[in-house]
Chains A and B, each alone.
Chain A
Amino acid sequence: MRLEIHNISKSFGQLKANDHISFTFEGGRIYAILGENGAGKSTLMKILSGYQSATSGQIIIDGKPAQINSPHHAIAHGIGMLYQDPLDFAPLTVLENYIEGKPFNFFMRRREAEADLLARCKILGFSLNPNAMVESLTVGERQQLEIVRLLSLGVRILILDEPTTGISAEQKSQLFQTLKNLAREQNMIVILVSHKLADVEELCEEVLVLRRGRLVGHRLLPCETDILVEMMFGKRISTTTPQPLYTDKPILKIHKLSVPARLFTIQNLDLEVREGEVIGLAGLDGSGQVEFMRTVAGLGRPTWADQLTAIIALAGMWWVFGKILDESSAVLNLARIAILILVLGPMLKTLYSYIRQRANNDQDAQIMLNGKSIGWRGYRDLLERGIAYLAAGRLEEGLVAGLTLVDHSALADRSSLPHVNWLQAWRRTKQAITDFSIKGQPFSQIQTLSGGNQQRVSLSLLPTNLRLILLENPTRGLDVESAGHIWSLLLNRRKQGTAIIFSSPDLDEIIDYSDRILVFSSGQTTLVENPEQMTTARLGELIGGKS
C-alpha cells in the first residue's frame, strides 16, 4: 500500500489552505499530522477523503493516479475517514448502521450482515451488540462501529480525526492497539490528526507538521515534545500550572440533586463550590456531567408553570375537540383527531419529563446560590443572578451564525433602551477584540471566525459580575496555544471570586486546571480533593468504576 500526494494545493480566493504539499505514505506505518488551528490539516484530510477537491496536485495510490471527487470515490479507492463525532445514525441499530453505505441491495440481508459484523468484531477484539441502538453507545463504541464499517467497505487508508476525544483511557489503549494491529498485520496506512501530542507520541511512527498551509516538517518518532511544539507554532509555548485562588466562602451548595442522564441517573448529588474555585467534571460521554451543569444553569428542566399551562391547554383542547367532532364526516374527524394528536403529543411528552424529573428528586433536593435557593428557575433568571453556561457547540448553543460581532455585543447588552446604540456596541466590540485578542473585525460574521476566536467572543460576552461559570468542554477543537489563552482568560475571572465548573473529555486538562475533580461513573459521583496527586491513569480507573 502506498499513497503519494504531489503538490496538493487548495485555495479559497486569495487564501491558500494547502500550498504545494507533497509526501509519500507507506503501508504498515502510522502517521500523525500536526498543526495549529487553521494550519490546513483538515483541508488536506478532506481532500484525501473526498469532501473537497484540490485546486491543483495529484493523488497516486499504489502507482495509479486517483481522481477523488466525493467520499464515495474515496472509499472506492480505499480511503476512509473516522470523524471526531462519528457520522452514524443515532436512532438506528448498530446493524442498520453497519449496513448503511454498502453496495445497494434491495433487501438488507440482515443475517448475512450480522454474521459479517460479529466476525469482524471478533478479529478486532471489539464487543458490539448488533441490535443495540447507536444512541445508547459510548463515543468509543461508536468509533469501533465506524472502524468496522469502514474496513468492511474495503478501506486500506484510515484517517482519524481527534479519535481520543470523549473516550476513556481504557478505550483509548484498546483503540490504539487495534490501529497498530491494522497497520502491521494488514499493511494499512493509518493517519492520525490530533492536537494531543501525548497521543501522537504513543501511537505514531512518523509525524508531519503543517503551518500556514505548508508542510514545514517531517520527523520520525520518538522525538522531543518541545521540538514538535516549536515546529507547530514556530515558537516555544510555555505552560504554567495555575495557582489556586479559592476562598473558604461557599457560593453554590447542591444537596441531594438527582439528574437523569443518557446512560445513568445521577442520584443524590451533594456538592459545595467555593468562591474562586475550579471544579473539573470527569466521566464518559453521557454519564451526566453535561446534564448536571445544565440543571444547575436552569436549562432544559421544565418548570411547574410549564406543566400547569400544558395541563390546562390539554384539558381545554380535549373538551373543545370533543364538542366539534362532526358525526357526518369521518374524513374530517380523522383530520381533527390527527391534529389533536400532533398537539397533545408534545404536551404529554413535556408533562412526562417533568413528572420523571420531580419523581427522581428527593423532596429536600436543593440548589443554593449565595445561600438562597434558586428553585426551578430558568436560565435567563439565573444569568441575572450570576450563573452563566457555555455549551460545547459554540454555534449551536451560544453564538448566532449570520450575526456579526457587533450584533452579538448589542444582544448581550442589558440596556433598557428600546433602540440599539450601534456606536456603543461597535466600541464595546473593538474593546473586546483588544482585551480578548480576538482575530476578527467588528463586522465579521461570527461563523467566519476560528473555533478559538469564537470561544473568546463567547467569553467576552459574559457579564462581568458572575458568581459561577459552567463550561462544557471549553477548549474543544483548539490547539495548545488557543487552549492556553482561553484558560488564562477563564482563570482571570477567579480574581473577582467567580467559580468555574467545567467538563472535558481531556483528562490532562481536568487534572491541570481543577482545584477539585468530580468523577461521574455509572450513576455515582466521587469527589477528588487533591488533583495534583492524580494521574490520568488513576482518573481513568475512577471513571471506569474502579475505586
Chain B
Amino acid sequence: MTAFRKILIQISRNTVLGILPLLVGILVALAAILLILNNENVELRAVYDLIYERTLSLPENRANVVDFWLPILLCCCGLLLTFTAGLWNIGIEGQITMGAVGATSIALFVELPRNEQIFTELFMAGAAGGTWALFTGIMRTRGGVNEIFGGVAMNFLASSFSSYLLVAPWSPPNATGSATVRFPANAILPSMDDYRLSPITIYITLTAFIFVLLTLSGSRWGLQLRAMGKNEKSAQMLGVPTERNIWLAMLICGIMAGLAGGHLVLFRRANLPANVSGGIGFLSLLVVLLASIRVRWVPFVSFAFALLYSAGLPLRTRLQLDASLIGIFLGILVFCVLIFDGVRQRLKERVEQRKLLAASGGEKSPPPSTVEIQIGQEASSGSGSN
C-alpha cells in the first residue's frame, strides 16, 4: 500500500469518526423536533421560513444574530484556554456579571471624553471579569478548592452583588430594582452606520479568536496548557509552571468574559439589568463542550446557537408555540449531539486502545521459517511433566 493511500485512508477514517456521529446526532434531533412539531400541527416548512426570515433574510436581522453571536464567541475563546488546561471554569457567568458591573461603574459615575470613556469602561469590564476569575484560580492552586465549586461560589457572589447594587446604590429613583438608568450616549459603544453592530466588539472578538487560535496551535504556552489538561502532575514534573499557567488562563478567560459582559451593558442594553448575562456563560460552556474544545469548530457551533436563540422569540409568537417548546428543542439538540459525541469518543478510544495494545502486545512475530533457539526440553507443544 502506498504511503499516499495510507494517508488517504487515515484521513477518511478520522473524518468518519469525527463528523459522522455528529451528523447522525443532529439528524436524530431534527427527527425528534419534527415529530413534536407535527404533533403541534406546525409545518416544518413554516418553521424553516420563519427562522430564515427572522435571522438571515434581512441585513438588520443578520446583524442582530451577529450581535448575539459575538459575546458568546468571546466567552468561548476564554473557555478554550481554560478547558485545554483542564480547568472547568463554571464561574464564567459570574465573570460576565462582574464585567458588566465594572463597565457600569464607569458608565454611570465617570465622565470622560468619548474615546477615553469607552476605553476606561472596557478596561474596567476586563479587569473586573479577570479579577473574579483569578480568585477562582488562586483558590484552586493555593486553597485546594476545585474550580467548579469555586466557580459556583463566585457566581453566587457576583449575582448577589449585582442584585444588591440594583436594589440599593445604583437603583434609579422610584424604580423596582430591575435595572439601572440608561447610560449617557457618551458611554455607549459606537455602532456601525448601517447596522446595529459594535465595531469595537468585532475587533476585540476577532483579536481574541486569533490569539487563542495561535496560542493553542503553535505556542509554547499552548503546548503547556495542553499537557496540563492531559495530566497536570506530569506537566509539573516536566518543569511546566502549572500554578502560573492556571492563574494566567483563568485571568485571560475572565478578561474575555468581562469584555463580553461589558458589551452586553454598553451596547445591547445601555443599562445594567438584573441577570445581565442571560445564561450566555453557560451557553458558551455548552458550545465549547459540543465543539470538543476544538478552536476551529467553535465559531460555527456558537453561530448555530446564536441563530437558534435569535429565532426563538419569533417562533414562539408567530407560530403560537408554547414558550417552553423552544427550550425543549434546544435541549433535544444538545442531548442528541452530546450522546453521539459520546459515541464518537468511545469509537476513538477503541481505535486508540487497539493501537496501544498492538504496540504493547509484543514485537512483530518472525516469519514461520525463522528457527527459534530452543534450550531445554521440547517447547511449544510441551506438557507438564508429572
Contacts and interface: CB of A to CB of B under 8 A. Distances in A.
Contact of A227 (B230, B234, B375, B385): B375
Contacts of B365: 15-16, 19, 212-214
Contacts of A313: 135, 138-139, 142-143
Contacts of B218: 419-420
A22 B354 contact: no
A326 B157 CA distance: 12
A320 B160 CA distance: 10
Given A25-B384, A415-B220, A400 B149 contact: no
Contact of B238 (A340, A343, A395, A461): A461
B219 A411 contact: no
Nearest to A297: B237
Interface stretch (A118-126, A254-262, A402-410): A402-410
A516 interface: no
A231 interface: yes
B233 A397 contact: yes
B373 interface: yes
B362 A231 contact: no
Contacts of A408: 238
Interface stretch (B44-52, B221-229, B280-288, B331-339): B221-229
A340 B221 CA distance: 33
B193 interface: no
A305 interface: yes
Interface in B285-337: none
A216 B384 contact: no
A295 to B, nearest CB: 16
Contact of A343 (B138, B149, B234): B149
Contact of B361 (A15, A208, A309): A15
B354 A13 contact: yes
A16 B362 contact: yes
Contacts of A26: 384, 386
A448 B235 contact: no
Interface in A292-347: 305-306, 309-310, 313-314, 317, 320, 324, 336, 339-340, 342-343, 346-347
A383 B160 CA distance: 44
A449 B360 CA distance: 7
Given A400-B230, A420-B218, A339 B359 contact: no
Contact of A212 (B219, B362, B379): B362
Contact of B358 (A12, A21, A346): A12
Nearest to B241: A380
A301 to B, nearest CB: 13
A216 B376 CA distance: 9
Interface in B343-386: 354-366, 372-386
B138 A217 contact: no
Contacts of B207: none
- Chain A contact-residue range equals 35 or more
A212 B366 contact: yes
Interface in A368-403: 378-380, 383, 389-391, 395-403
Q: Which of A10, A217, A419, A450 has the most CB of B within 10 A?
A: A217
A211 interface: yes
A520 to B, nearest CB: 23
A14 B361 contact: no
A398 B379 CA distance: 40
A415 B361 CA distance: 37
B144 A234 contact: no
B384 A24 contact: yes
B362 A39 contact: yes
Interface stretch (A159-167, A218-226, A270-278): A218-226
A214 B237 contact: no
A512 B350 CA distance: 43
Interface in B186-236: 218-221, 223-224, 226-227, 230-231, 233-236
A214 B230 contact: no
A216 B373 contact: yes
A397 B234 contact: yes
A97 interface: no
Contacts of A16: 362, 364-365
Given A13-B358, A214-B372, A403-B226, A314 B143 contact: yes
A10 B223 contact: no
Q: Which of B153, B362, B365, B377 has the most CB of A within 10 A?
A: B362
Nearest to B146: A346
A283 interface: no
Contact of A309 (B142, B226, B373, B375): B142
Nearest to B362: A17
Given A214-B380, A380-B241, A12 B230 contact: no
B372 to A, nearest CB: 5
- Chain B contact-residue range equals 35 or more
Contacts of A305: 142
A461 B235 CA distance: 12
B153 A396 contact: no
B240 A411 contact: yes
A69 interface: no
A350 B141 CA distance: 11
A380 B239 contact: yes
Contact of A215 (B152, B220, B362, B380): B380
A22 B380 contact: yes
Contact of A447 (B356, B372, B376, B377): B356
Contact of A342 (B149, B219, B238, B240): B149
Contact of B220 (A43, A212, A420): A420
B11 interface: no
B150 interface: yes
A31 B230 CA distance: 41
A226 B284 CA distance: 65
A211 B372 contact: yes
B156 interface: yes
Contacts of B164: 324
A214 B363 CA distance: 11
A411 B378 contact: no
B144 A398 contact: no
A391 B237 contact: yes
A95 to B, nearest CB: 32
B31 interface: no
Contacts of B27: none
B234 A309 contact: no
A417 interface: yes
Interface string B126-158: 000000000100110011111001101100110
Contacts of A418: 219-221
Nearest to B240: A411
A407 B145 contact: no
A400 B227 contact: yes
B1 to A, nearest CB: 12
A72 interface: no
B355 A448 contact: yes
A379 B235 CA distance: 12
A15 B358 contact: yes
Given A398-B234, A420-B223, A461-B238, A450 B145 contact: no
A378 B230 CA distance: 21
B166 to A, nearest CB: 14
B270 to A, nearest CB: 28
A111 interface: no
A253 interface: no
Nearest to A220: B385
B149 A23 contact: no
12 contacts: A15-B363, A23-B382, A38-B362, A218-B376, A220-B385, A230-B375, A231-B375, A317-B153, A349-B144, A350-B142, A412-B239, A448-B359
Interface of B: 135, 138-139, 142-146, 149-150, 152-153, 156-157, 160, 164, 218-221, 223-224, 226-227, 230-231, 233-241, 243, 354-366, 372-386
Q: What are the 8 closest A-B residue pairs judged by CB atoms, nearest first?
A: A17-B361, A12-B358, A309-B142, A448-B359, A346-B144, A16-B365, A347-B143, A17-B362
Given A218-B378, A218-B379, A395-B234, 10 more contacts: A29-B384, A39-B362, A398-B237, A400-B235, A400-B238, A407-B227, A411-B239, A417-B220, A418-B221, A420-B220
